[in-house]
Amino acid sequence: MGRLEGRRVVLGVCGGIAAYKAVEVCRRLVDAGALVSPVMTAGATRFVGEVTFSALASERVRTSLWDDDDPIPHTRLGQAADVVVVVPATARVIGAYAAGISSDLLTATLLATRAPVVLCPAMHTEMWEHPAVQENMATLRRRGVHVVEPAVGRLAGGDVGSGRLADPADIVAAVERAVAPQDLAGVRLLVTAGGTREPIDAVRVITNRSSGKQGYALAEEAAARGADVVIVSTVERPVSSVIDVVKVETTAEMQDAVLARSDVSDVVIMAAAVADFRPKAPADRKIKKDEGPPEVILETTHDFLVDLGRAKRPGQVLVGFAAETDDVLANAAAKLRLKRLDLIVANDVSAEGVGFEHDTNRVTLLGGDGSEQDVPLSHKRDVARAVLDAIVRLRRSTT
């Protein structure tokens, strides 16, 4: 079950040209399982029709304090909300919210809720940079409001500058962070993802079927729970802007990237499928077909996870993955001991719907303390949640 499954989200839409992007935010929230209650300002209805949000959301749009049978709709909305997100947040609404002025249903709801609030500003550069707007934003940040910073890019009228609404995927990720337990706040977490690629020649490689989905799910879930996340990856996948991505290709490149950052990481999760073998003498040019198939002599790669285990400092948590096809738990337990891990995530990649390339996974978590936890076939984000729950328990047991 996703972080937003069953959560009540009040989606406020203000009168700016970026209101059309709130339609995509609404769709993504609903797809994530949220119950979306849309509230539009009068200005927003000039940019996007009410019926659009009523059709996509979980209930009809509300636009006024006075058009509902409920005499206090703002109070009902505010009390029922698990989170309120405003997309786009205009200078007017930001100013009214900061000053405590409830001039319409949306601003009244903002003042009537104790749920987390996520503001997504969007306006022209001159407006965004105006001292009054910046002072209002500073006030709201001090009060604990979550802010999804506007991007730099093309604006209405053809100008280019700061003030462009953030990407809808980043907005939904911010909503997830707002409702997530912040049990990893301030934790520096490093995770690897994807399968390494070892060159045969200038164009051909030996690799594996890892898609990186589990590693990215771990990165997103950790970021949602407050961690400062770095992902060292061999694959290109969409990722929240708060996550630092380091691109690598080979095992040696991944080793260098991980070892350079492991000393300052509180948690290291080796979710990548790192090659066990590589061509001993790769050609520096493309081998032509008419030359015949090349003779590829393999050599063993260095298992740098062993190095991480030997160098692990007190309080640091080290997690490995064991993708196996037979004797899964026995092989995983051996790796756990050999590499001095705190936790290993074992899965049978020969099973249907499990592991490589799938959106789902079924794993067993083996702890260095002898603990064992089965995670049934679940979406990889749910598996990531179980892994991070175990990491949180490990960290608490050592403090």
For the stretch 363-378, pLDDT in tens is 999 999 999 999 999 8
pLDDT over 90 (residue 399): no
pLDDT at 1: 52
Give CATH 3.40.50.1950 domain extents, the chain.
8-179
Write phi, then psi, for 144 (nearest 5 degrees): 95, 10
pLDDT bucket at 157, cuts 50 / 70 / 90: confident
Distances (CA, A) of 141 to 82, 115, 344: 19, 15, 39
Both structure tokens of 14 = 């203000």
- CATH class for domain 8-179? alpha beta
Instruction: Name the residue with higher pLDDT: 250 or 242.
Output: 250
Residues 6+ apart with CB under 8 A from 66: none
Where does the chain hold its CATH 3.40.50.10300 domain(s)?
188-397
Q: Give the chain's end-to-end CA distance (angstroms, integer).
A: 30
Burial of 219 (0-12, 13-18, 19+ CB in 10 A): buried
Just give the CATH number of 188-397.
3.40.50.10300
Q: Which of 11, 67, 68 is nearest to 39 (CA)?
A: 11
Q: What is the DSSP letter of 62?
A: B
pLDDT band at 78 (very low <50, low <70, confident <90, very high): very high
**pLDDT average, residue stretch 164-181:** 92
pTM, two decimal places: 0.79
Cβ within 8 Å of residue 253, ≥6 positions away = 196
Asked whether the bond before 88 is cis by omega within 30 degrees of 0, the reply is yes
What's the pLDDT tens digit per position in 104-140? Answer: 999 999 999 999 999 999 999 999 999 999 999 999 9
| Residue 163 zone, left/alpha/beta (φ > 0; ψ -120 to 50; rest) | left
Per residue in 196-205, pLDDT tens? 999 999 999 9
Q: What is the mean pLDDT of residues 136-158?
A: 89
Give me the chain's average pLDDT, please.
94
pLDDT of residue 159: 83
Residue 208 annotated in active site: yes
Identity of the residue numbered 142: R
| Identity of the residue numbered 1 | M
C-alpha distance from residue 397 to each of 232, 269, 369 (Å): 28, 18, 11
Residue spans of alpha helices (H) in 12-71:
19-31, 50-56
What's the pLDDT score for residue 348? Answer: 92
- Proportion of the chain above pLDDT 70, given as a percent: 99
Give how far Cα 106 sits from Cα of 54, 90, 113, 205, 332, Å. Answer: 16, 12, 11, 55, 53
**Whole-number Å distance between alpha carbons of 288 and 137:** 61
Confidence of residue 313 (pLDDT cuts 50, 70, 90): very high
